[in-house]
Structure 1
Amino acid sequence: MQTSIKLNEQLVLVTGGARGLGEHLVRAFLREGAKVVINYLNSAEAAQKLVAEAPERALAVQADVRDAAAVQAMFEQAEAHFGCPVTTVINNALPAFSFNGDARTHADALAWEHLNQQLEGVVGGALHTTQAALGGMRKQGFGRIVNVGTNLFQNPVVPYHDYTAAKAALLSLTRTLSQDLGPDGITVNMVSGGLLRTTDASAATPEAVFDYIAASTPLRRVTTPAEFADATLFFASPWSRSVTGQNLVVDGGLVKN
């Protein structure tokens, strides 16, 4: 069993990696010398543009994370391409969602379909990638799984019921998986952001909301996707080799975990 592998020796898979926060996560790992699989659903052009920046260390693969068979095939393609199993999974993919408080689904109109759409993508997707990664991680005696969460389940300043419920379920899965997979040398952690300035999902957020959040943080600014991505590196790095089942909040100190 290996307690750590350097970032530049890892094969990292980022779901939803072609744009938004995912693009910044991909760039962060590429900057550190890792090989990266860029998973995407519809953003083929953006994914290939990222690959072109590091063609020897990046691979774009289309797969719907809600489809277990497609996810398994993606892992097999990644291992065949790079000649080694995936060591690190960043579960970032998000079903279609816009952080627009004015357009959110209110309690009286909330339906199970709204919740289920988020649960299938957020929790189901993370389950499928974890299961597909287990064989290779166990063979290596090493694995890193990092789930992207939210500070909204601690501070639901805007009650996005469906999105927040799915991310809260993902936190629970993070902790139970860490307990189950620890003996295999696999750590499972979460990095939770607040509103990020700016991603595709937060593009609809009014400027006044960004200003309000900035004024409420000790750092007096809104966290950027690049800053969030840098914090995510910690859970894949050797410095986190004894850390699992944790949730790191990266939001400028707005929420204390």
Structure 2
Amino acid sequence: MSDPVNLPLHQQLVLVTGGARGLGRDLVKAFLREGARVVINYHTSADAAVELTALAPEKTLAVQADVTDVAAVQALFAKAQQHFGMPVTTVVNNALPAFSFNGDARAHADVISWEQMNQQMEGIVRGALNTTQAALAGMQLAGFGRIINIGTNLFQNPVVPYHDYTAAKAALLSLTRTLAQDLGEKNITVNMLSGGLLRTTDASAATPEAVFDYIASATPLRRVTTPAEFADTALFFASPWARSVTGQNLVVDGGLVKN
């Protein structure tokens, strides 16, 4: 049996969903720094996506698509393959439905609605399923695939009960593990990166400063992880160094949660 294909980062075509803003922007920049070609998926942030492509016009493509829409996701993958002449080899499922990390405004157990829960399930779990299924044919053709799902440390340390967001991310972890089992024989790895509060993204802009201070004081590194620090870790799961790692959840939060 021949050795499995293991593409170095500079030979990969990476899709980052929700890639125009926040953590997504740093994920795009991290992969570009290592020479990868990157598809920047966005939903409504067209100007930010176009601005990001200016960093490396020959290595980037901005494509609008709602990841909950199967047809739009399939069209996204087709555009990427046509533009770069190769299939998407690496998917980073980062897209997040509208959500604000403001603990003072969270919906408690007595009032949270199924509509709120379902909004997060649709965007996080359905979105990741759609991109994974759209990627499979190209990954099998390439003999190589990397799927990296973005999670949270809140389902291990639910200090703030964001019930809807946390439940959806926990479901995504389960999907990560079952997909890893199902797709491993095709040389497709599926892993999760779980962060805590990041300083600062659009979603955490509403977080009170006192919360940042508290998390920093409780973290071994005595600081809050930045989006750039978190994004760098995604490079490991995509790289040949992680060729035998699948079905795993790596917590990147400065040591606050010991996984």
Q: TM-score interval w.r.t. the shorter chain?
A: over 0.9
**Whole-Å Cα distance in 2 between the matches of residues 237 and 2 of structure 1?**
13
Q: Indicate the percent of aligned positions where both proteins have the same amino acid.
A: 78
1:218 has 2:204 as partner: no
Gaps of 5+ in 1: none
Q: Name the counterpart of 1:149.
A: 151
**Whole-Å Cα distance in 2 between the matches of residues 50 and 101 of structure 1?**
31
- Cα deviation for residue 3 of structure 1 reads 3.7
Q: Name the counterpart of 1:30.
A: 32
Q: Name the counterpart of 1:112.
A: 114
- Cα deviation for residue 156 of structure 1 reads 0.3
1:253 has 2:255 as partner: yes
Describe the SS at the equivalent of 2:110.
helix
Counterpart among 232, 242, 249 of residue 230 in structure 1: 232
Counterpart among 165, 168, 172 of residue 167 in structure 2: 165
Q: Which consecutive aligned stretches of 4+ in structure 1 deviate over 2 angstroms post-superposition?
A: none
Aligned AA (1:204): A
1:70 has 2:72 as partner: yes
Q: CA RMSD in A?
A: 0.6
Pairing 1:36-185 to 2, within 5 Å after superposition: 36-185=38-187
Aligned AA (1:133): A
| TM-score, scaled to structure 2 | 0.98
- Cα deviation for residue 111 of structure 1 reads 1.1
Q: Name the counterpart of 2:211.
A: 209
**Whole-Å Cα distance in 2 between the matches of residues 3 and 95 of structure 1?**
34
Per-residue deviation, residues 172-210 of structure 1 (Å, max 9, x unmatched): 000000000000000000000000000000000000000
**Whole-Å Cα distance in 1 between the matches of residues 76 and 134 of structure 2?**
9
Q: Name the counterpart of 2:189.
A: 187
**Whole-Å Cα distance in 1 between the matches of residues 5 and 244 of structure 2?**
8
Aligned AA (2:95): A
- Cα deviation for residue 4 of structure 1 reads 1.1
**Whole-Å Cα distance in 1 between the matches of residues 59 and 174 of structure 2?**
33
Aligned AA (1:8): H
Gaps of 5+ in 2: none
- Cα deviation for residue 38 of structure 1 reads 0.1
Describe the SS at the equivalent of 2:149.
strand
Per-residue deviation, residues 218-241 of structure 1 (Å, max 9, x unmatched): 100000000000011100001000
**Whole-Å Cα distance in 2 between the matches of residues 177 and 198 of structure 1?**
31
Aligned AA (1:156): P
Aligned AA (1:233): L
| TM-score, scaled to structure 1 | 0.99
Q: Is the 8 A contact 1:147 1:170 kept in 2?
A: yes
**Whole-Å Cα distance in 2 between the matches of residues 211 and 246 of structure 1?**
30
Q: Is the 8 A contact 1:37 1:60 kept in 2?
A: yes
Describe the SS at the equivalent of 2:205.
coil
Per-residue deviation, residues 137-159 of structure 1 (Å, max 9, x unmatched): 01111000000000000000000
Q: Is the 8 A contact 1:196 1:225 kept in 2?
A: yes
Aligned AA (1:220): R
**Whole-Å Cα distance in 2 between the matches of residues 99 and 53 of structure 1?**
29
The alignment covers a number of residue pairs equal to 257
Describe the SS at the equivalent of 2:54.
helix
